[in-house]
Structure formats: structure tokens, C-alpha cells
Amino acid sequence: MSHTPIHAGIVGFRGYSGAELLQILTRHPHTTPVLMEHRADSEDRSRPRSYRGPARIACSGDAARELGINIIFLATPPEVSMELAPVMLDAGAKVIDLSGAFRLRTADTFKKWYKEEHTQPSLLAEAVYGLPEFYRDEVKGARLIANPGCYPTAANIALEPLVAAGVIAPDTDIVCDAKSGVSGAGRKPTLKTHFCEVTENFSAYSLLDHRHVPEVLMNSKVAAERFSFTAQLLPIHRGILETIYFRVQKETNSSDLIDIYEKRYAGEPFIRIYHANHVPDLAAVNHTNFCDLGVKVDAGTGRALVVSAIDNLVKGAAGQAVQNMNLMFGYPEAEGLL
Amino acid sequence: MSHTPIHAGIVGFRGYSGAELLQILTRHPHTTPVLMEHRADSEDRSRPRSYRGPARIACSGDAARELGINIIFLATPPEVSMELAPVMLDAGAKVIDLSGAFRLRTADTFKKWYKEEHTQPSLLAEAVYGLPEFYRDEVKGARLIANPGCYPTAANIALEPLVAAGVIAPDTDIVCDAKSGVSGAGRKPTLKTHFCEVTENFSAYSLLDHRHVPEVLMNSKVAAERFSFTAQLLPIHRGILETIYFRVQKETNSSDLIDIYEKRYAGEPFIRIYHANHVPDLAAVNHTNFCDLGVKVDAGTGRALVVSAIDNLVKGAAGQAVQNMNLMFGYPEAEGLL
Amino acid sequence: MSHTPIHAGIVGFRGYSGAELLQILTRHPHTTPVLMEHRADSEDRSRPRSYRGPARIACSGDAARELGINIIFLATPPEVSMELAPVMLDAGAKVIDLSGAFRLRTADTFKKWYKEEHTQPSLLAEAVYGLPEFYRDEVKGARLIANPGCYPTAANIALEPLVAAGVIAPDTDIVCDAKSGVSGAGRKPTLKTHFCEVTENFSAYSLLDHRHVPEVLMNSKVAAERFSFTAQLLPIHRGILETIYFRVQKETNSSDLIDIYEKRYAGEPFIRIYHANHVPDLAAVNHTNFCDLGVKVDAGTGRALVVSAIDNLVKGAAGQAVQNMNLMFGYPEAEGLL
Amino acid sequence: MSHTPIHAGIVGFRGYSGAELLQILTRHPHTTPVLMEHRADSEDRSRPRSYRGPARIACSGDAARELGINIIFLATPPEVSMELAPVMLDAGAKVIDLSGAFRLRTADTFKKWYKEEHTQPSLLAEAVYGLPEFYRDEVKGARLIANPGCYPTAANIALEPLVAAGVIAPDTDIVCDAKSGVSGAGRKPTLKTHFCEVTENFSAYSLLDHRHVPEVLMNSKVAAERFSFTAQLLPIHRGILETIYFRVQKETNSSDLIDIYEKRYAGEPFIRIYHANHVPDLAAVNHTNFCDLGVKVDAGTGRALVVSAIDNLVKGAAGQAVQNMNLMFGYPEAEGLL
């Protein structure tokens, strides 16, 4: 079977997700990455030492056509993604957007959580939520992918199968206590990401109202009024670990939850289920595209816990984006990712 | 008013809590710390560089009487504490035990959680749980103090006032997601505390069944079947931060919770309450004896969160022990601790 | 003996040195710290949670007189120090400047290393270099103190006694390989101090030409053409460790160097000398005002090494500043510093 | 051209170097890694989660023959390597030893630095020092490779070309100030590698007498009496950075040193030379098999500095071992390493 060679533009390659993307695409056997600038006149002219591609190129329809770009990755803020996505789609490229611009279903929801107007409501309607484990078929046919948020990726993979199986107690609260490495806060220097403010520290932010919450509600079908989520900053570079608490239906034990996961994720190349009472740590998933899941149930009371761990820059961003790209171009899903 | 000068023995001074204790007592204006060995023949003969006290002394009744020890701190494992506490009490010294040996109410509960027989059930009955904010009067008159566990200190200070005020929804789950620095795991080298296993990592342990749980149930009066607690290891030296989730009664908001705390802890030297929607981080409490509390309530749903932060070696161990010592000897409670 | 109570202004209290200064002065029994702004209209209006002093005050002669400020600490960039120092001296306050503005001897040298004109050459001539172990008497009588740089403090204390004793081989090179925690780079967020750029990394900067070099040459009398110094960034919050290499005269051994140090620093409250072949680490000095020195000589070849360690924010900045203040006001030199 | 498929035994796979080796060999397209135990009865029965090879196998000649092992990696202490190397050579396998057992030239030198008798002096004489950039041809024909130490790899690559070119001043001292991540100290838990002892700390060890020194003297031809080396522990997982100081001959500048390196290392796949006055940090080399070199010369005085950086687990151990393996089996030198 012959495949289309991929010419992949990357905008936002100086950020941590963009840099990870470049690294993965450079190793990918069928892809040529091309770095592109959002603004031709941006001050920062740095490029990765190892990059051998064409000189400084602004992201435009002409450039895309000239260079034969057939897919573009937008590792940019939502407002930049809303500006560039239609331009690149018009130029005939597929688009994978790593921002939150196209993840929610309606312009109103977007405005509520992102505090800005959505300028591309028709694209919002068209975009496919790029969580391959849930929406593989839609991804294959999509022009525009909304690559999932890092926190929702770990949460949805953990929660949706249990909700769907009806194993969660109807009167339970669901708590997702989420912790992320600092790369999740981006590369722009701020006091919050200053080494001295982070090292030997730990802090919570976006208390109960992180804008990633609606991505979980939509995809996992948990009830908003019983779902509490808080994000916290770990003094590490990368990795997300979520400790998720709830109660299960009577007579349900750890093995039952593991069975549900194993059936649901049979054949999935990037989901690993742990033995009962064992849970992943970040060392197990960092620098990989895996999402690892571990389970503990207290049989007497039904109190349960799931730990879901990913690398926020890989399965939570660049790796998942490449997984989507592989699907969109008919390559093996794990190409370049193992 | 004249006060008794304090001659304070420390057993277990090579551990992190014991070392912190030595440092605090050295600064304390009315205390002379004396380092004591559990075994006269122990291999490790190291002593802190700055210590100028008497030469190597085994912890015995004779030594205590000879040196005029009127209080002894046991920063030792439970089985050592059960061995030494009666000896030192017989020698006329007060005892503050930093282990879990005397914290639970019955020998049966102790055996269930610590997997060993309690050898001193009568002392277990006599011991006062040394959380001054809850049991100040009992502490003043006590011979034997069970210094609280680090995790329960943060959890009880956060939970008990809310339970007592009846503000927590009756049908809620209560989740305490706890994170601790590595010093909480002790100074004995193990693979779990090896630098390379901890740095850039984060991991959960004692999933839903940490032996500190009964200390919270007993003192905060939360219902066991609805209370989930998990301990997690932060890649930092010291500090405990607990993110506690529950739902509140209708019409209750952040200010209501803050009011409850402010009334309950009015005049307390070591409890600080944050403004609504602000929560502490570890930098705020490390190297201090403070317990900081912050609150967020989502008014629409009643979902609520409290963050409780302490330094596990200070308010979670040595600092609280000295706070108890001050009460027992009639000194100002904060002496040597500010 | 009665002492003047100290009213100490601090400009630059939001930086790491300024914050450390506030903490030390708050503990100091005879000092009332007062926070002052360089510009009345600066955007950042934050103040430390614990500070109870007067409301926002701009640093001016009037304010100084009104508040009875008798000493001011300038934890500011050199250009701000050159602006504020004469104003405060005119208002009758003593000045301790923590910048490099007044450390070098001439305006030309200053311009060479700091790349800007010196606007206060007469004050430059008057300023006393505030290394109490070398210039204690001059400090006592000074109006204006140039508080030493962090790197030079560790280097001068290690090198000067050996140079003065003539024990260093005449044909040797002297290498000072210096490592500092990130707080030495200041609190302003930059990519260089972003957590993700620093953690799990180590990097050299100011290769052979750091502007602290002339402070070492001047005070230790080492020959410029044989003295190599390089600064490096450790992935830690605080602490400076310098590994200093040279060769000694024939027949000189470790004990000889230790003897020289012990004689030179006899009675010094903040210098500690280690046994032969033992050297300090940062854990020994961090959060203290000590400078620790350790020595190793290879007797056969005369190759020698000294390790000098300080906390860059304490002995390398705020602590040393308070040591100077104590001398200037006739208080015990270690007041508030042990 | 057809190549022999490689069946590679790994003894010591639980250590950090062994684990890195397994990871690299698993990715290598022509190698099947096989985990082997030094002792069939060792207590630790853990194996990497991802390993799918044969069940627990003791390292013996029979096992090697049965499994068709044609090369064995010994990531073991020197005494184990001296025991196993002859056994495996007799069984017809090539051997790459990652310990110091076969790196020095004579049994006497070995005894002097390793404080034990060498039990295999004839193998010591046969062993080839596996630094491909220096001894590529010898490596190709070797049965037994002494894989270089981590510190000497970085030092020799930096120093030997300059010594050989005669550009170093004859009367200079040469100082190599070396810093390593904690994985260099091995995976066995000790107080020195306890997280709380390492984090926010920095310490020197093996002052002027590290046993890696003779490996540098032998291969770079620097004079022992003028060469000072000290090892230091960085609070990071991996990476070695060496800051090397010396003086150069008159009229020599940065470009001259860079020219020497570029000629010497032209075509080398794993050596990268930086532009003048730019030096590598650890982020540039970690998780790669590169050795990066940067240079600064102070033209006036001839004082010079080279920074040499490697990943201690890759170019300093497992990666270099695989580079040697590729040469021994006729594969492209960089196979599996880019």
C-alpha cells in the first residue's frame, strides 16, 4: 500500500508542545516537518539547533501551497488558531489545533470558559475532537482536529468507560485531583514559572473552575453538579497525574473496574491497565504516548480510586496530535510514537 | 512568674523529625536539649556538628535522673516508643512521643492499623492527643503526649470545625487528597527515597488505607464510609498540602466557611485563614509552625474545596511537639516557634 | 550600654535579597524594618503578607526624616542605587547598598565592568567595602557600605589568607569554579530562570569574565593573568559553592592551610573551618550567615583545593548587610543572625 | 551486505546503566536483548515491565551457548566483571564491560586505584579501551571492550586533541571541575543518594583523587602533577558537565581551539563543536549519545576554558557501549543511537 508523504507545518514550535512535536515528527519515517512563523516580523528568530528545513517562513496559504504542506499543527493560543485554521484549510491542508479553540461544541460555551468571542463558529461545528480511543473513525475523515487538552485526556480515558458501564454509584461525588508539571503552563516566563517560586513548592490553581472541565463533562458524561476538578502545579518539568475518587455500585471490586477497562481498551496501543491495587507514577509514562490506569476499590464501602497518568507534552499534546495525523493519512496509528 | 528550666532528651535525633526538634530546642530560650541513644551500642555514632551537649548517652532511667531530664521526645518507631515511654515516665520525665504508638484509642485499633501488638495498653489509655488547637487543657496536665501524625494534623484542623458546625452536606463524599515531601518517609535509605526515583516523578501510595486515617476519623468525626484519603509523594524535601473536597449545605458560600474557621481559631497563634478563593501553597508554611487554610465554594452546586498546608517536620512533627512542651511547662505556647 | 533603636528602610523588598533582608530584620530585636518603594507609581503593589509597617511609602529624603529612618538598605540595580544613595545620605541616614554600584575603586573600573557611567564618583571613593572579616574597623565608622557580591564573598574569604601567608606557589594558576542557586539571578522572570529550563539542567555563564572578578582581584590580591573564574547555574533555589584550585609551595600540606585559616579567622562568628580532607556542602550553610571552608592538598604534587560555601542570600547578601549594620550601630555583630 | 543478528546478554540490568542499555538495545533494529542474572538465587526478582524475553536466566557459558548470545554487556561491579568476562569469552561471546575492571593498563595500577587484586591480568592486557573516537580500529577487532568511565569520556574527548596539537601552555595547570547527576552513584540506596540529602544541595567528593583520573592521564597524555580533577554531585538525575581550565600558548584564541576540534572530530557522528564563546549545558546532551564541546579563550592572558557535556548514562555508559557493539559487528556506528 502506498502512502502520501507528509509535509507538516508547525506553528508555535518555540513552545514546549511545539518543540516536542518537532522532535516526534523528525523521527517519523514519512513526515518532513517545516517550521513556520505566525508573524513574519516576530522578534524571536531562534530555531532549534538540529532543524535543517527551509529558512524562516511565515504561515500563509501561499507558503503552504508552495511547500506542499498537507497538514499543519497549530501549537498556538486560541485566538491565533482561530485566525490560522481557516487560512490553512483554504490552502488545502488538514489542520490539527493544539489549543482550546475548537474543543467545545458551541460558541457560547467557548465564550463562557475562554472569555473571548469565537470567530469561526462554522469550523467549531466541523471540528472533530481528536481523542482516537473515543472517536477514531471521525478522526480518520476529518479536515480539522481539536486536539484534546492535557488534563481532559487523562480524565476522559479514566472516567468514560466507568460511566458508560454504569458501575459508578448514582449518588457519588466524583473528584478529580489533577497535578501537572510546569511545562503545562507554557514557556512564556512569568513569576509563576520562575524556578525559585516552583522548586520545593506545590500549589493549586483554577480551583473548581478550570476551563478544561467542560471537555471532561462533554466526553465522559459525568454530572457537572457532582464533578469537582482542581489543577495543581508539581515542581517537575512534565507529566500529569490525576487521582480520581468516587464510589462504585454495591458488590463492585477492583477486578470489575479492571475488566471494564480491559474490554474497552483491548487492542489500544497506548492504554495500559495495571494490576489491582497498583497505580502508575509519572516515571512510567513520561517521554511516552501512553496513558496508564490503575485502580483501587475498598470493597466494604465501595470507595474507589483511579490513578490516570500521562506525559502532558506527549499523550497530552504532541504525541496525541501525531496519533491523529497517522489516522488522517492512513498510517499505522503508532508510527513514530513507540 | 518563675518557670522550670527544661532539660529535654531527644531519642531519634538522627532522623529528620529529631534533627528538626534539636534545631528548635537549641533556639528555645528555656530549654537545654540532650541527645540520647536508644541503644548504647548502635553503629551510627554521628552527631550534629553544632551540638555541644554531653557525650554519648544511652536512654535510661538512671541517665534521665542524673541529667535532670524533665521531658523526653521520642522520635522513634512505635515499638521503640512503647519500650522507652514507660521507662522515662518512671524516671519522672514527661514524654512526648512522635510515633503512632499512643495516638489511637484502643490496643485493638492500634493492632489493626499498625500490624503489631500494643505492649502498653494502660499508657495508651492515659496518653493525650497533642493537637493543642483541640485539646489544649488536656495537654497542659498530661504526662504522656501522643504527638499527632503529619497528615492528620492538616486534615483535622481543616475538617473538624466544618463537621462541628454542621455545614457539610449530609450526603456528600469527603475526599482528602494528600501530598507530602520525602522527609515524611524517613531518613532510612530505600529505593523509594533514592533521588533518581523521586526527582521528576510523583506517585501515590497507601491507596485509601493509610494508617493515619483513623486519627482523622476519631478527631474530626467524619464518617468512615464516606471519607477517602490517599497519600502521595512530592519531589520536594518537606511540606504537606491536602486538597479536601466535599459538598456543603444549600446556601453556604466561601465566606461562611471562612467565618467558621475564624471563630473557631480566633487567637490561635499558628492557624492562618486565607481570603475567599485564595489557598496556601507550601512556600507559605515551610520552615514554620503554621497551618494555613484556604477555601473555595462553587455557590451554584455547593461543591467545596479546602486546602490545608503545613510543614510536615514542624507543625506536622517537631514544632507541634514543642508547642505541646510549652503548654506542659507553662511557657507561652509559641515560645521558640516564631 | 544603651543603643540607638534602628529604623531600617528597605528598597527592593520584592527581590529575593530584599525579602531575605526583611525576614532577618523582622527577627532582629532592635530594628524596625520599613518597606519603601523606588517609584511611588510602580505597578507592582504587592507586599509581604506578614508586614505590618506603614502604608506604601516612596523612598525620599522627606519620608526618611519623617519616619526617622537611620539606615537604608538598597536591594536595587546599580543605577537605582546611584540615584538613591546620595538622597538618603543627605537625609542623614546611613546606607548599605547591595548592588555593585559602590564596590569597585574607580569610576573607570566600574564603567569597564558594568558598562555604564558612574554618576557618583565621590561616593564611590567614600564607600567602605563591607566584608567585616577584612574591614571591620572601617565598616564601624562608615556612612556608606558597598555590600560585597555573593561570589566574591566566598572567594575572598577563601583566598586572601592564603595569598597573604605566601603559601600559594608563585607559578600556579588559580581557578575558581563557582556554582550558584537560581535566586542569584534575581526574581525578574526570564527564560533563563524558567523552571523547565533549569530543572535537571546545569549551565555555565559569564565565562572567564564575570563582573564580580575585579572584586576578588582587589581584595585577595591574586594576579589577574593567572586567575580564572566561571559562574554556573545550579538547579536549586539558593547557595553558592566555589571549588578553588591552585598549587601550594613545597612541603605545604592540608594542616598548614587549615592553620592559616584558623589563625586568620580566630574569633570570627561566621567562619567555620573543616577538618583536613573534609569540605562543606550547601546543606551546611543554607539559611545561615556562615561561610564554611574545607581543604585538600595532594602532598606529593602540591595540588590543592579549597571549597568555600555560603548562602548567597544570607552571607552573600542580606545577612552580611545586617552584620555590617550591627557594626555600624554598635550592636553585637551576630545580633539577629544566629 | 548481510550482518550477523545480535543476541545481547545484559547482566546488571537493574542498575541505571543496565536499564538504559536495555532501552537502547530494544530499539536497535538488529539486536535481541536477553536479561541475565549474575546469581541464579539473587533476592531481587524484578524485571522491567516491558521486557518479553526468556524467563530468569543465570549468566553461564551453557546459557550463553544455548541462547546464541554473541555479545554480553556487564553492567556490574569490577569484581563481578572479572568473574564473568572470562566465562563468557570462553563461551564464544564478545564482552563489553561497563565497570572499571579492564580500563587500566596494568594489574598494579588497577590495585592502586581500585584497592583490590586484579584476577584476570591477561584479559587486562587484551582489553581494548572502548572510546571509538580514539581507538575505532582496535574496537572493531576486539573480543573484550573496557567501556570508558563517564567522567573520562567527557575529559578525554575535550583534552586529548589540544594536548596532541601542542596548543596548551607548557607551564599551565589543568583543572577539570566535574559535576555529575545522581545516577552516576548507582541505584543502591545510600544516605548519599537519599532525595532529602541531595535536593537543594551540591557537594564535592573524591577530592583530587577520583579513580577515574588515571583513565584521563593515560588517554589524554596530560601531566599528572599538573592535572587536578574533582567530582561533584548535582541534584539532577543524569548528565555530566566538566569545566576544564588551562592556559594556551601565546597568540592562541578561541577559533584556534575550535579548528583543532573540528579537524580532529570531522565526520564523528557523536561529537558537536559549539561556536566560539558558546558552551553546552546538560539539556543539550541528556538522553543523547552526543559529547558537546564549547570553548572560551581570554586572548590577553591565554586563560582558557572548555566545557564538555555528556549524558553519563548514554555517551558515558550504555550509548557508548552500543556504539562499540555496532563497530564490533560491522553495523553503522550510530545504529539505534540517533
Q: Are strands A6-11 and A71-74 parallel, antiparallel or unpaired?
A: parallel
One domain for residues D192 and D120: no
* Average pLDDT across chain B, whole number: 96
Amino acid of residue B325: M
Kindly report which listed range (C17-26, D38-47, D266-275) carries the lowest average pLDDT score. Answer: D38-47
Measured CA to CA, the distance from residue A311 to residue A319 in angstroms comes to 9
In a domain, residue B55? The reply is yes
Cα B287 to chain center, whole Å?
Answer: 14
Inside any domain, residue A334? no
What is the number of alpha carbons within 13 Å of residue B293 lying toward its C-beta? 29
Q: Answer yes or no: is pLDDT of C329 > 60.
A: yes
ipTM value for the complex:
0.96
Question: How many distinct structural domains can be found in chain C?
Answer: 2
Q: Tell me which residue in C49, C200, C284 faces B200 most closely, judged by beta carbons.
A: C200
Q: What is the rounded distance in angstroms from the CA atom of residue A37 to the CA atom of residue D170?
A: 51
For residue D285, which residues of chain C lie inside 8 Å, CB to CB?
Answer: none
Q: Indicate yes or no: CB of A187 within 8 angstroms of CB of C191.
A: yes
C165 within a domain of the structure (yes/no): yes
Confidence of residue C2 (pLDDT cuts 50, 70, 90): low
Q: Which of C329, C326, C271 is closest to C337 using CA atoms?
A: C326
Please state, for a pLDDT cut of 70, what percent of chain C lies above it. Answer: 99
Which of D190, D235, D236 is closest, CB to CB, to B189? Answer: D190
The string over D49-82, giving b where at least 16 C-beta atoms fall within 10 Å of a residue's C-beta and e elsewhere, is: eeeebeeebebbbebbeebebbbbbbbbbbebbb
Residue C287 with chain B: CB contacts under 8 Å:
287
Spatial separation of the C-alpha atoms in residues C147 and C99, rounded to whole Å: 7
CA distance C60 to C67: 11
Mean pLDDT of C106-132: 97
| DSSP classification of residue D318 | I
- The answer to whether the CB atoms of A228 and B305 lie below 8 A apart is yes
Taking the C-alpha atoms of residue A166 and residue A176, their distance in angstroms, rounded to an integer, is 18
- Within 8 A by CB and 6+ apart from A154, the residues are A178, A240, A241, A242, A291, A308, A309, A310, A315, A316
pLDDT value of position C338: 87
Note whether residue C210 is domain-resident.
yes
User: Beta-strand (E) ranges in chain C?
Assistant: 6-11, 31-36, 71-74, 94-97, 128-129, 144-146, 174-180, 203-205, 227-233, 240-247, 271-273, 291-297, 303-310
Question: CB-CB: which of B171, B236, B246 is closest to A200?
Answer: B236
Provide the shortest C-alpha distance from residue D313 to chain B (in Å): 13
Which among A202, A230, A239 has CB closest to B239? A202
Give the gap in angstroms from C-alpha D9 to the nearest C-alpha of chain B.
Answer: 25
Are residues B179 and B285 both part of a single domain? yes
Answer whether residue D212 is part of any domain: yes
Beta-strand (E) ranges in C102-253?
Answer: 128-129, 144-146, 174-180, 203-205, 227-233, 240-247
| Grid coordinates of D24 | 537502547
Whole-angstrom distance, CA of residue A210 vs CA of residue A229? 7
Distance CA B90, CA A151 (A): 57
Q: Looking at residue B2, what is its pLDDT?
A: 58
Residue D273 sits in the same domain as residue D177: yes
- Examine the domain organization and report whether A36 and A175 are in the same domain: no
Which residues of C are less than 8 Å from A235 in CB distance? 195, 199
For residues C296-324, give the mean pLDDT. 97
Would you tell me which residues 188-247 of chain D have a C-beta closer than 8 angstroms to some C-beta of chain C? 197, 199-204, 207-209, 224-226, 228, 230, 232, 234-239, 241, 243, 245-247
Q: Name the residue facing D200 among A49, A200, A284 (closest C-beta).
A: A200
Residue B9 confidence class, pLDDT cut points 50, 70, 90: very high
In a domain, B1, yes or no: no
With CB atoms and an 8 Å threshold, state whether B177 touches A245.
yes
- Which CATH number covers residue A320? 3.40.50.720
- CATH at residue B157: 3.30.360.10
Distance CA C130, CA C212 (A): 15
Query: Which grid cell sits at B147?
Result: 504527638
Q: Which residue shows C-alpha cell 518603594? A: C37
Chain segment B271-324, per-residue pLDDT in tens:
999 999 999 999 999 999 999 999 999 999 999 999 999 999 999 999 999 999
Residue C319 has pLDDT above 60, yes or no: yes
- CA distances to B209, B213, C256 from B224, rounded to whole Å, are 11, 9, 67
Touching B: C residues 37-56, CB under 8 Å: 49
pLDDT at D1 over 80: no
What are chain A's partners, defined as 3 or more CB pairs within 8 angstroms?
Answer: B, C, D
Rounded CA gap, D253 and C336, in Å? 50
Q: β-strand D227-233 against D203-205: which pairing, if any?
A: antiparallel
pLDDT of D158-215, one tens digit each?
A: 999 999 999 999 999 999 999 999 999 999 999 999 999 999 999 999 999 999 999 9
Task: HSE, CB side, 13 Å, CA atoms: give it for residue A208.
Answer: 28
Catalytic residues of C: 150
Q: Is the entire prediction scored with pTM above 0.90?
A: yes
Whether residue B86 sits in one domain with residue B176: no
The arithmetic mean of pLDDT across residues B253-273, rounded, is 98
Question: Residue B138, exposed/middle/buried by CB under 10 A (0-12, 13-18, 19+)?
Answer: middle
Give yes or no: residues C175 and C229 share one domain. Answer: yes
Same domain, C36 and C137: yes
Tell me: pLDDT of C39 over 90. Answer: no
Q: What is the pLDDT of residues C189-244, one digit of tens each?
A: 999 999 999 999 999 999 999 999 999 999 999 999 999 999 999 999 999 999 99
pLDDT band at A338 (very low <50, low <70, confident <90, very high): confident
Q: Which chains touch B (3 or more CB pairs under 8 A)?
A: A, C, D
A contact test, residue of B174, B195, B208, B209 with most A CBs within 10 A? B208
> Is the separation of the CB atoms in C245 and D175 below 8 Å?
yes
C46-83 pLDDT, tens per residue?
A: 888 888 888 889 999 999 999 999 999 999 999 999 99
* pLDDT at res. C106: 95
**CA-CA distance, B146 to C10, in Å (whole number)?**
44
A124 and A219 in a single domain? The answer is: no
Judge if A74 and A134 occupy the same domain.
yes
**3-state SS, one letter per residue, for chain A:** CCCCCEEEEEECCCCHHHHHHHHHHHHCCCEEEEEEECCCCCCCCCCCCCCCCCCCCECCHHHHHHHCCCEEEECCCHHHHHHHHHHHHHCCCEEEECCCCCCCCCHHHHHHHHCCCCCCHHHHHHCEECCHHHHHHHHHCCCEEECCCHHHHHHHHHHHHHHHHCCECCCCCEEEEEEECHHHHCCCCCHHHEHHHHCCCCEEECCCCCCCHHHHHHHHCCCHHHEEEEEEECCCCCCEEEEEEEEECCCCCHHHHHHHHHHHCCCCCCEEECCCCCCCCHHHHCCCCCEEEEEEECCCCCEEEEEEEECCCHHHHHHHHHHHHHHHHCCCCCCCCC
Q: What value does the mean pLDDT of chain C take?
A: 96
Residue A42 pLDDT > 80, yes or no?
no
Please report the pLDDT score of residue A43 as a whole number: 77
The average pLDDT across C88-110 equals: 97
What pLDDT is recorded for position B53? 86
Determine the average pLDDT of the residues in A113-132.
97
Show residues of chain C in contact with A237, CB under 8 Å. 195-196, 199-200
Owning domain of residue B225: 150-312
Rg (C-alpha) for chain A, rounded Å, is 20
As a whole number of angstroms, the distance between CA C102 and CA D234 comes to 34
| Residue D43 and residue D125 in one domain | yes
Output the nine-digit C-alpha cell for C153.
564573598
| A277 in B contact zone (CB under 8 Å) | yes
Instruction: Flag whether pLDDT at A240 surpasses 80.
Output: yes
Residue-wise pLDDT tens digits, D122-139: 999 999 999 999 999 999
φ, ψ for residue A20, nearest 5 deg: -65, -40
Bin C143: left if φ > 0, else alpha if -120 < ψ < 50, else beta.
alpha
Domain annotation covers residue C110: yes
**Considering the domain boundaries, does residue C337 fall inside one?**
no
Cross-chain Cβ contact A207/B277 below 8 Å: yes
User: Which residue of D182, D196, D237, D238 is the best one to mutate when testing the B interface, meaning the one whose CB has the most B CBs within 10 A?
Assistant: D196
- Residue A261 reports pLDDT greater than 70: yes
Give A302 to chain B, closest Cα distance, Å.
Answer: 8
C-alpha grid cell for residue B160?
473538624
Q: How far off is chain B from D197, nearest CA to CA, in Å?
A: 9
The span from the CA of D154 to the CA of C323, in Å, is 43
Interface test with A, best of B172, B245, B253, B279 (most A CBs within 10 A): B245
Same domain, C232 and C292: yes
Residue D129: strand, helix, or coil: strand
Residue D151 identity (one-letter amino acid): Y
DSSP state of D274: P
Q: Cβ–Cβ contacts within 10 Å for residue D232, how many?
A: 21
CA distance D128 to chain A (A): 33
Q: Is residue D150 among the annotated active site residues?
A: yes
Beta strands in chain D (DSSP E): 6-11, 31-36, 71-74, 94-97, 128-129, 144-146, 174-180, 203-205, 227-233, 240-247, 271-273, 291-297, 303-310
The order of strands in the sheet holding D203-205 is D203-205, D227-233, D174-180, D240-247, D303-310, D291-297, D271-273
Q: Which residue of C has its CA nearest to B337?
A: C27
Quote the radius of gyration of chain C (alpha carbons, Å): 20
Instruction: Note whether B138 and B162 are same-domain residues.
Output: no
What does the block give as the cell for D326? Answer: 555496532
A314-337 pLDDT, tens digit each: 999 999 999 999 999 999 999 999
Mean pLDDT of C132-159: 98
Q: At A276, which amino acid appears?
A: A
Summarised one tens digit per residue, pLDDT across range D237-265 is 999 999 999 999 999 999 999 999 999 99
Residues 156-195 of C with CB under 8 A from D: 171-173, 175, 177, 179, 181
